[in-house]
Amino acid sequence: MENRSQLARFAWLSIAAAILTIGLKVAAYFITNSVGLLSDAAESLVNLVGAVVALIMLTIAARPPDDEHAYGHGKAEYFSSGVEGALIFIAAVTIGYEALLRLQNPQEIQAAGIGLVVAAIASTINFGVAHILKRAGKQHDSITLEADAQHLMADVWTSIGVILAVAAVVVTGWHWLDPLIALAVAANILWTGLQLVRRSVLGLMDTALPNEEMKKINAVLEQYKSHGVQFHAVRSRQAGARRFVSMHVLVPGEWTVMRGHQLLEKIEGDIRTRLPNMTVFTHLEALNDPASYADTKLDRVVQNGKTETPPS
């Protein structure tokens, strides 16, 4: 398992970018008096808070397993993306409220040229940082960095929309376009926030690995089934970058412990080769022992002094 403490530097990069873009966008708002640019600045403020939360959670997630957290601290990353998604939701509501007020009372945009140049510079900074974070998130399998990158890219598209809208207002004189585009921005970032929260909830609920990853695991198991080995109770989950899969391996009862152990070692090695950062738990059972088929479910039910498989 890699040393994930190095990922904190990407969070610091995100924090620096957020501080810089907030300053630029606030300046653009005061120059132009555009509520669209104000909404853009508000989203960058959320970026800053989200980046700080990401730094904290990445630091926690990098801690090694201990007595109280034997499976590590990887799930801390889900809290980061969940918090960021919630912050996006708050920003969307705030932007929508301000846009509705301005829609009722449209105001003229001032010094649009200078304001748009400043906003464009801020958007370019966000685009570059988002690209770096997305690549790092994929490389290190970090939902926190991916969430931060996704949020920054939403900010970039927001900025592009706002810039085009402000330019259209200047050309057409339709001042109501400014708050209208702000409402569209609010709807867009609200959708982004909901997706982040959903992904965090799925991770915290121990959702199984994606289908494409389970297919790789099943492909390994199929190779051994052709030699008379069977499997059941195959379960998987993910905690940040760390993946877990467990299974029961059924072999002929006359096998020695050494032969069974060597088989399990080979199965676990083959799975880890297909999927990095994978922790594999295997349990050896005998094909011809009826008790081997009483634990296919997660829990067993004890009735009348006997252990039985719970109903499906």
- Other Cβ atoms within 10 Å of 160 Cβ, number: 15
Q: Classify residue 256 by burial, with Cβ atoms within 10 Å: 0-12, 13-18, 19+.
A: exposed
Cβ-contact 15, 48 below 8 angstroms: yes
**What does the pLDDT read at residue 101?**
76
Considering the segment(s) 4-204 as one domain, its CATH architecture is: Up-down Bundle (1.20)
pLDDT mean values, one per 10 residues, the chain (312 residues): 68 87 84 73 75 79 79 74 75 76 72 78 89 86 76 78 78 77 76 76 80 92 89 87 89 93 95 88 92 79 52 46
Cβ-contact 263, 249 below 8 angstroms: yes
**What does the pLDDT read at residue 246?**
94
Residue 299 DSSP class? S
**What does the pLDDT read at residue 256?**
93
Cα dihedral: 110, 100, 45, 121 (round 10): -40
Distance CA 167, CA 175 (A): 11
Token reading at 231: 């499997």
Q: At 61, is the secondary structure helix, strand, or coil?
A: helix
**What does the pLDDT read at residue 281?**
94
**What does the pLDDT read at residue 302?**
53
Cβ-contact 54, 113 below 8 angstroms: no
Cβ-contact 183, 100 below 8 angstroms: yes
**What does the pLDDT read at residue 224?**
92
**What does the pLDDT read at residue 291?**
85
211-308 fold? Alpha-Beta Plaits (3.30.70)
Distance CA 152, CA 88 (A): 11
Which residues of the chain form CATH 3.30.70.1350? Answer: 211-308
Nearest to 75 by CA among 208, 232, 241: 241
**What does the pLDDT read at residue 307?**
52
Which residues of the chain form CATH 1.20.1510.10? Answer: 4-204
Instruction: Measure the CA angle with vertex 67, ends 200 and 273; round to 5°.
Output: 60
Token reading at 289: 């022992």
Cβ partners under 8 Å of residue 144, min gap 6 = 7, 11, 54, 57, 58, 61, 77, 80, 81, 137, 240
Strands 278-286 and 242-251, by their bridges, are parallel
